[in-house]
Structure 1
Amino acid sequence: MTSDPPPGTPEAPRVAVRGEARLEVDPEIARVGITIGARGTDRRSALEDLTRRNTTALDLIKSYGDAVERLETGAFSITPELTRHGKGERVRAYHGRVHLTAELTDFTALGELTTRLADLDLTRVDGPWWTLRPDSPAHGAARRQAVREAVQRAREYAEALGTTLAALIELADLGAENTPMAGGTPRMAFAAAEAPDTPPALNLEPQRQTVTAQVNARFTMHPPAL
């Protein structure tokens, strides 16, 4: 448990301020979710079909090389579809599904890749979700701006009293976070059949990201002449 800071004294009066920053920056990463489906009259055929479609999607994504920063396989399932048969039930078909996540840093390739993925049979594409890297320089820039604002505020209070700041007593970081802009993140979803021709690439505009930072700061001042 932290105690309240000691009060200032007439010889060293204190001033407490908050500094805030809000920056709008371009995203660094676009994340896309790909869900691949398959259906077969028996478990083996469903698995083989799903394996083939999954390999096709993986090969397509990997063909974009360094534009794809990360590629991960998520949930996988094979589910029987039951139907009534007399007084009981029997398996009518098996449905397979596997989920992939791709992160791209080259937004020029993003529209083409998402369109080509969506053109695959029984394939759903969701996204993109725009974001920044955890170590993005934008976070540091927001924190520095918040500190500068805190110092400027404290100086203005001191100047209003006809004095100046003497020393920094405390600087507390209230955190910096990446917050999506109002209106939500744009999403797209497709489930298209294969086509012989490559479809035209989508024109996707990166969504600007809002980075915020807040700090609390306490200073001592030279005694003002009141």
Structure 2
Amino acid sequence: MSPLRTLPVALAGLLAACAGPMRAARDNPLPPPAQGRAGIREPDAGPARGVAPVRARAVPRPLPRALAVERAVATAARLVGAREIVVDGARFGDGCAALVRAAYDRAGAPLPPDADPRALHALARDRGVARRWAPAAGDLAFLADRPGGPVEHVGLVESAGKDGTAVVLHLTEHGVARIRVNLGKAWKLKGDDGRTVNDLLVVGGGRLPAGRLLVGYARLL
């Protein structure tokens, strides 16, 4: 018998097991509570003697931003070359958004588990933190598949230079890689000093400087 055929049977058994005790409880109701006030404390009597008061569970404090950025970048950088996003035994799914979800999770700022690049960009816009310029480490970087196109990709800014060149960690079909991108010099591959400011990306059968595909940045940490 194939697993597909046995699965409904197993589920039916589990449902029956859950329903059994509930039916038994209805068939044998508990006796009504005893009348009177024996053993009942007045509302303003305070906690009973020898019983510790119940305290609310403390909400963990968010990490200082500098530490959160450091952890996010370190997490993503350790995955360079990896094709699957697995951190401490936890798998964060497929697609380039998995990398930033893993990085932000380890930074104490988890993102929605099913968020794709467009959803993350919409979240950034709703929070008023999406922008076109001034990248910084820990930012999200959004790219399109064509100049002026919609968001299709997201990566994490590892570092940013004074000239506006950002090194972005991005999950590609060949694994996590570093991509250099500079919106201010979108048409150039190298700056006046000979350093690369935009990597050449293959899109739609053509090749374009990464800066021409950049949609913008967002600071969600």
Higher helix share: 2
TM-score (norm 2): 0.19
Higher strand share: 1
